[in-house]
Amino acid sequence: MLMSASVATLPGAGRSQKARLAPHELFGVALQGLRTRRLRAALSALGIAIGIGAMVAVVGVSASAQANLLNLIDRLGTNLLTVTPGQTFLGQNEVLPTTAVPMIEHMQHVDSAAPVYQLTNANVYRTPYVPAAETGGIGVDAAADNLPPVVGTSMASGHFLDRVSARYPEVVLGAEAAKILDITRVGGHALVYLGNSWFQVVGILKPAVLDSSLDSTVFISLPVAERLFQQLPNPSEIYVRANVNSVPQVGNLLPATADPQNSSGVQVTRPSDALKARAAAKGQFKTLLLGLGAVALLVGAIGIANIMVISVLERRGEIGLRRALGATRRHISSQFLTESALLALLGGVAGLALGAGATEVYSVTQHEPFSIPLYVLVAAPLAGLVIGAVAGLYPAAKAARLSPTEALRV
């Protein structure tokens, strides 16, 4: 209750008696408090910056790695289907009929098909003197000359099988096979020994991401294989590029088309699905690292609480003065709470920059695209703000509880 004792002419007469502090004034007071202790503010914000930076980097790096895989999938296309013989009920291997390839090629919505024929009794060696058992795990396939574009790979050097390869002993090496045979360049003396004769290496493939089994294989042309082994075996795998919009329909029709008499013996897969699964899996490892970042953040928060407690003790004089000037307990606690929140917000923003920088370094060195999820831009500073507010609760309450006269006596 106000019983105005003052006459109108007296100082202070007729004024509202409330103690007020507008939000922007509170902000200014808190900023002032931080500005007068710059180094300390910077060091305690650093704790938060490191924690948030670590978390942003984890999210950014894994997002970049994922983006890389997704880009790869986009580049290779998701419209590749592979047709392979399945297994019988008793676990024996089925065979694809020789008619499968022309049947598939005539299907609607099929852009192209490239079969390979595994030559099971052929092996490839660097020289005839290599013991027969040391095959290096390299398979020998007869392949159609359109194989590389269909499986989404290209030549690392040389060229793929062509019309000349149909008449002469020429061979193309998969990326891994070339490594095992230690052949890095084509032409000249790049020869391999295959089925009792020398073959000239005319090309080396780049890794085939959609089907890595092709990497440890060497390829010869269909006519040469036919001559060498009297007869072509049944196709061991048929790669099919379907119209992008009709991939599922084509997939559904493929078994019956490849083998109308025994469609259940035909297996159809979509290699890009496996890559997508890998992209999703890339996101999993980050949980652990995020946990580590959270620990760093906790340490940073404790650092801020610690600094704020010290700050309250040091600034008792200021607190007493403010109380004398009309600050309520709530004004004092809000001031310290705002300082603490601002400090951590600053740390959050710096952490965002740190984490983005780390992601950038990673993406440049790994040749992966730079990617940080949008929500991180909001979440990182917000996390700082919340952590600062929580860390400031105790020091702020302590400051508000301080007796003003005791504070003034310092």
Partner 1 sequence: MLTLNQVSKQYAGGVVALRDVDVEIPDGDQVAVLGPSGSGKTTMLTIMGTLERPTGGEVNVAGYQVGKASDGQLAGLRAHQIGFVFQDFHLQESMTALDNVANGMLYTGLPLKQRREAARSALGRVGLENRITHKPKQLSGGERQRVAIARAIAKRPLIILADEPTGNLDSKSGGEVVALLHELASDGATLVLITHNPAIAETFARRLKMQDGELVADECS
Site string for partner 1, 54-93 (x = CB under 8 A): ----------------------------------------
Q: Are strands 170-173 and 110-118 parallel, antiparallel or unpaired?
A: unpaired
Does the footprint of partner 1 cover residue 321 (CB under 8 A)? yes
Q: For residue 245, what is the DSSP state?
A: G
**Shorter beta-carbon distance to partner 1: residue 165 or 334:** 334
User: Which stretch in 14-22, 230-238, 303-311, 351-359 sits in contact with partner 1 by CB under 8 A?
Assistant: 14-22
Assigned token pair, 113: 């098909």
**Min dist. Cβ of residue 313 to partner 1 (A):** 17
**Min dist. Cβ of residue 323 to partner 1 (A):** 6
Assigned token pair, 70: 């997704």
**Shorter beta-carbon distance to partner 1: residue 241 or 323:** 323
**Shorter beta-carbon distance to partner 1: residue 319 or 346:** 319
Neighbours of 14 (CB within 10 A): 9
**Shorter beta-carbon distance to partner 1: residue 22 or 374:** 22
Does the footprint of partner 1 cover residue 2 (CB under 8 A)? yes
**Shorter beta-carbon distance to partner 1: residue 62 or 333:** 333
Assigned token pair, 74: 């986009």
**Shorter beta-carbon distance to partner 1: residue 185 or 409:** 409
**Min dist. Cβ of residue 53 to partner 1 (A):** 30
Does the footprint of partner 1 cover residue 23 (CB under 8 A)? no
- For the chain, the maximum distance between any two Cα atoms, rounded to a whole number of angstroms, is 124
**Shorter beta-carbon distance to partner 1: residue 1 or 133:** 1
Does the footprint of partner 1 cover residue 40 (CB under 8 A)? no
Interface with partner 1 (CB under 8 A), residue from 5, 90, 132, 374: 5
d(C-alpha 360, C-alpha 349), whole Å? 16
Interface with partner 1 (CB under 8 A), residue from 12, 102, 131, 188: 12
Touching partner 1, residues 385-404 (CB under 8 A): 403-404
d(C-alpha 213, C-alpha 237), whole Å? 11
DSSP assignment string, 109-164: TEEEEEEEEE-TT--EESSTTS-TT--TT-EEEEE-TTHHHHHT--EEEE----TT
d(C-alpha 271, C-alpha 244), whole Å? 14
Q: Are strands 197-205 and 191-194 parallel, antiparallel or unpaired?
A: antiparallel
Element (H, E) at 347: helix 329-365
d(C-alpha 245, C-alpha 78), whole Å? 10
Q: Which residues bind partner 1 (CB under 8 A)?
A: 1-7, 9-13, 15-22, 25, 29, 32, 35-36, 317-318, 320-331, 403-405, 408
